[in-house]
Amino acid sequence: MARWRSLEEYTPIARLLVEYMWAQRPPLLPSQFAEQMGIPKQAVSRWLSAQADPDPAHLVRIAQRTPLRLLDLFLTAGYTTPDYPIFDRAGAWELVLERVRVADTLTDEQRASIITALEALQAAEPAPSSIPIPATANEGADEEQGEDEET
């Protein structure tokens, strides 16, 4: 059975993942989270015990399968900074629209025209396809080492 610690004892990325697991109804155990994300249980156990950080491919997979934003996952894991953000498609659109909305060099008419064009482009954009994420070199080793539910 999983043994939970107080949130303050987790690394920032582990804390974000634990908060997500606890928010689910019923709350998810690390092994259930791993299974839902398609990630080896041993990898999740190492993240929660601060023995390793999730690699970017796993963070992308988590962002695809949860409401957690890719930017938040990458920031929390330390893969990027607010000065150099990494966005998923929705986040990129959000950033572009926000920058147009606050641009002080545009007239109201220009701003409205650009926003209308951007929204039309966004609506016409095909839905993202399900792109398989390649397995990392460590995944095979994770599965061979067995399962560890201690967190």
Angle between helices 41-48 and 30-37 in degrees, nearest 10: 130
Tell whether omega for the bond before 26 is within 30 degrees of 0, i.e. cis: yes
Q: With a cut of 60, say whether residue 133 has pLDDT above it.
A: no
- Domains of the chain, by residue range, sit at 7-82+140-144, 89-124
| CA distance to 25, 34, 47, 123, 134, per residue, from 150 (Å) | 21, 13, 11, 45, 27
| CA distance to 45, 92, 120, per residue, from 96 (Å) | 37, 6, 14
Q: Which residues contact 51 (CB under 8 A, 6 or more apart)?
A: none
| CA distance to 11, 70, 82, 90, 143, per residue, from 43 (Å) | 15, 19, 27, 28, 9
Task: For 76-122, write each residue's pLDDT tens digit.
Answer: 999 988 887 777 777 788 888 888 999 989 899 999 999 999 888 88
Q: What is the pTM of this model?
A: 0.63
Give the CA dihedral 107, 110, 115, 116, nearest 10 degrees. Answer: 140
pLDDT of residue 138: 45
Q: With a cut of 70, say whether residue 2 has pLDDT above it.
A: no
Task: Decide which of 2.30.29, 1.10.8, 1.10.260, 2.60.40 is the CATH code for 7-82+140-144.
Answer: 1.10.260
